[in-house]
A = this chain, B = another copy of it.
Amino acid sequence: MPQIDTKTRILDAAEHLFARDGFHSTSLRAITGQAQVNLAAVNYHFGSKDALLQAVFERRLHPLNQIRQDLLEQVLHTARQQNIRPRVIDLIGSFIEPTLAFRQSESGAQDFTTLVGRALVEPDPTVRDCFIKLVTPLFLQLSAALQLALPQIPAEILQARLQFTLGAMGHTMCTLGRPPLELPGILPPLPAEKIAELLINYVSSGLEAPC
């Protein structure tokens, strides 16, 4: 048995390359080359390139979403106990902060963050549907919780604002790893924790805006 499992080496390489170059621009030969395994190993262990992508998503997303869901329910529980409405900033925080913590803990998590950010606007159904399926339950819970926190805002407006929020979060996740825009007069990027704090503040303000 080699140092690291073959399946794991493939997953790590795929995660990195999918995030850096995109799903379709990454060949199985590039993945197996970086993972130092045989080309056929992908189809043997995962069945197909599509199935590999799903495995890449699931490996990280299942534990991460579990944490987010626990945090979300904790926020809702506390609010119920105190008989107050949950705060938007806490609800959004329960979604964003585990992402940041996860990002800083595991190696390769940075790549995954980028990958998830892309998946939100991915044109290809292969990638998009695979990802959407995994985040839909949590997304619905967050949506319902926000409705609870902001009862004065009509549902269809809140739904639109949630879409804006998804866009801001996804784009931020994408660009956290790389230089934001190579522009003249651009300031040095802030550390990830500061960005996350600013993002929570930004989207909370947008979600709570008077109609």
Contact = CB atoms under 8 A, between A and B. Distances in A.
B174 A121 contact: yes
Contacts of A121: 117-118, 120-121, 170-171, 174-175
Q: Is the interface of A mostly helix, strand, loop or mixed?
A: helix
A170 B172 contact: no
Nearest to A207: B202
Interface residues of A, number: 58
Contact of A175 (B21, B157, B163, B180): B163
Interface stretch (A2-10, A46-54, A67-75, A182-190): A182-190
Contacts of A206: 168, 202-203, 205-206
B21 A187 contact: no
Nearest to A208: B205
Contacts of A186: 159
